[in-house]
Structure 1
Amino acid sequence: MWGFFPLYIRVLRPAGAMEILAHRVVWSVAFVALLLTVVRRWRYIRELAQRPGKLAGIALAAALIAVNWGMYIFGVNSERVVETALGYFIGPLVMVLLGVVALRERLNLAQWSAVGIGTLAVAVLTIDYGRLPYIALTLATSFGAYSLVKKRLGVPAAEGLFIESAVLALPALAYLVWLTLTTGGTFGQGAGHTTLLVVAGAATAIPLLLFAGAANRIPMTGIGILQYIAPILQLGCGVLVFHEPMPPARLAGFALVWLALIIFTVDGLRTTRRRVAEREAEHALVA
């Protein structure tokens, strides 16, 4: 669903990035509120309302995901789908660096090699673009920081998404009212277009809820590898559907990113297998 999201955003034209983002926020609140009502999960929301520390953390997460969503929509609408795909390819490497900076984690040689190759890839792509790939870097950094905040908060998926969207709902509504009073916006311009804007709430919430459910059932190494499916599909949309250019220098930059991810993934699999083997050995000794 995330991988084919560029196709959905493109059919929302002529709505601009900010209008799409505002509708995405507002209708996400409505969709998740309906979901919480159906499953009767409002009790946790009331408990969270009495914990200002948690609410402050959720507000920070909301700001980070708003930056991520807004930059992604802008990238797709400005015909830079390939660069948005790059952002999600380098995301795992950025998360590793955030782990070092924020959590004081130590990297092994393979992980440092992957980060170094990823940095070289950004340098190659900067030369190719003639500028820093700021869309990709913003997407990777904002989602990495969002993931870090969410990890520390430990809030259930649906409840967390509702509060994040609720934090953004008031400014989003204010923007939509202002847009309606000035330029008029695009909401209401045809039943099909209006329906697609409303569906943006479900299109935002459902993949996030599915991801949260999968994270509780699949080992982290599996989740990490599956994360590459979305940018691969996004890259395919950019090159094969929207016919964005992929000159040799840009392809070389992506190849370096993929090499870094291969090193990173193989190292992660080896580490996981070693830990499993150690745990099994400990259980055998206890038995």
Structure 2
Amino acid sequence: MKKGVIYGILAYFSWGLLPLYWRLFESMPAWEILAHRIVWSLVFVAILVTAAKRWKQLKSVVPNLKSKAAVLLCSIFISCNWFLFIWAVNNGHVIETSLGYYMNPLISVVFAVIFLKERLSAGQWIAILLAGLGVLIMAIQYGTVPWVAISLAISFALYGLAKKIAGLDVLLSLTWETIIVFPAALGYLFYIQGSGTGTLSNLSGYSLALLLLSGAATALPLFWFAQAAKLLPLSMVGFIQYIAPTTSLLLAIFIFHEPFAEAQLISFSCIWLALIVYSFVTFRKSKVNKMVTNAA
């Protein structure tokens, strides 16, 4: 349990600090950062697979059309999510990214109802309605729908849904996800460098070294998350995951000095209340189910 909590905190705190990391490359276009992230993620994951001696298992992990389609969808959804996040961070929308990842668990629940036919209690529906109210308040304040937050929440929820349906090994499925988009990413980097529009040569040695580490910055939190998920009850992982958007929100307000108006506070308060209600109801439901199982 103790190890699981440490892994969970490491994973979500790392994800929460990512805006600081991507801001180091704000002079670089989001597409170029994404391409580098994909390329160096594959390099780092390949090192992990080699160290674990699991290359022989790579082909067998996607034995049928369903698993191949799921991995392809995972690759598309996570690439879209990464691009949106990088673009948002480097264009002053860190508060919206925070809102998106606060919304993500609740969007995932809605998808579970729609696609996996799961049933919700009255308390869980109330939580989803409160979250919807929070988004509506922010939309009224902005005069437009907070599309960055919603797109981040939906793309990551779709990624989680595809992973759930596939049920594949974490490390090997991540390897396939990066392999699929690697040729496009590498081709794009060669193209922009050849056409003279690439910015890699403009980076200092320090910035270049940090960019090469983007693979580790991507894969390590996923590894820590997988370890936490193995060692902890799902309800506890649910509580720990709010470290990431909370960290990003604090960075946005106190480090990046993004405006946080009264309407945004009301909107976030609705989301926070929704998460408290949902977590409480889910935790109580899990506890009751455990007592019933033990009694049986």
Normalised-by-shorter TM-score class: over 0.9
Q: Secondary structure at the match of 1:15?
A: coil
Structure 1 residue corresponding to 2:265, chosen from 251, 273, 284: 251
Paired with 2:63 and 2:289, the residues of 1 have a C-alpha distance of 39
Deviations 1:222-278 (A, max 9, x none): 111111000000000100100000010111000001011110010011001101111
Paired with 2:63 and 2:276, the residues of 1 have a C-alpha distance of 45
- Quick one: percent identity of the two aligned structures? 38
Match of 2:101 in 1: 88
Which runs of structure 2 are paired with 1:145-160 in the superposition (5 Å)? Answer: 145-160=158-173
Paired with 1:186 and 1:201, the residues of 2 have a C-alpha distance of 19
Q: Secondary structure at the match of 1:155?
A: coil
Match of 1:78 in 2: 91
Paired with 1:202 and 1:3, the residues of 2 have a C-alpha distance of 15
Q: Secondary structure at the match of 1:234?
A: helix
- The amino acid across from 2:55 in the alignment is W
- The amino acid across from 2:243 in the alignment is I
- The amino acid across from 2:179 in the alignment is A
2:167 aligned with 1:135, yes or no? no
Q: CA deviation at 1:184?
A: 3.5
Structure 2 residue corresponding to 1:178, chosen from 191, 209, 221: 191
Q: Secondary structure at the match of 1:4?
A: helix
Structure 2 residue corresponding to 1:117, chosen from 124, 130, 151: 130
Which runs of structure 2 are paired with 1:2-21 in the superposition (5 Å)? Answer: 2-21=15-34
8 Å contact 1:29–1:162 — kept in the other structure?
yes
Structure 1 residue corresponding to 2:238, chosen from 221, 224, 227: 224
5+ long unaligned stretches in structure 2: 1-13
Deviations 1:101-148 (A, max 9, x none): 101111111011011111111100001122111010011001111101
Match of 1:269 in 2: 283
Deviations 1:58-109 (A, max 9, x none): 0111000001111000110111100000000011110111011101111111
Q: CA deviation at 1:169?
A: 0.4
Q: Secondary structure at the match of 1:266?
A: helix
Match of 1:42 in 2: 55
- The amino acid across from 2:120 in the alignment is L
Structure 1 window deviating more from structure 2 (97-106 vs 43-52): it is: 43-52
Match of 2:9 in 1: none
Deviations 1:201-232 (A, max 9, x none): 11000001110111111100011111100000
8 Å contact 1:28–1:201 — kept in the other structure?
yes
Q: CA deviation at 1:39?
A: 1.1
Q: Secondary structure at the match of 2:16?
A: coil
- The amino acid across from 1:131 in the alignment is T
Normalised by the length of structure 1, the TM-score is 0.96
Paired with 1:49 and 1:33, the residues of 2 have a C-alpha distance of 17
Q: CA deviation at 1:35?
A: 0.9
Q: Secondary structure at the match of 1:62?
A: helix
Match of 1:285 in 2: none
Q: Secondary structure at the match of 1:121?
A: helix
- The amino acid across from 2:161 in the alignment is L
Structure 1 residue corresponding to 2:111, chosen from 88, 92, 98: 98
Q: CA deviation at 1:50?
A: 4.8
Structure 1 residue corresponding to 2:206, chosen from 160, 183, 192: 192
2:92 aligned with 1:63, yes or no? no
Match of 2:67 in 1: 54
Q: CA deviation at 1:49?
A: 5.7
Which runs of structure 2 are paired with 1:227-246 in the superposition (5 Å)? Answer: 227-246=241-260
8 Å contact 2:66–2:166 — kept in the other structure?
no
Structure 1 residue corresponding to 2:44, chosen from 24, 31, 39: 31
- The amino acid across from 1:48 in the alignment is V
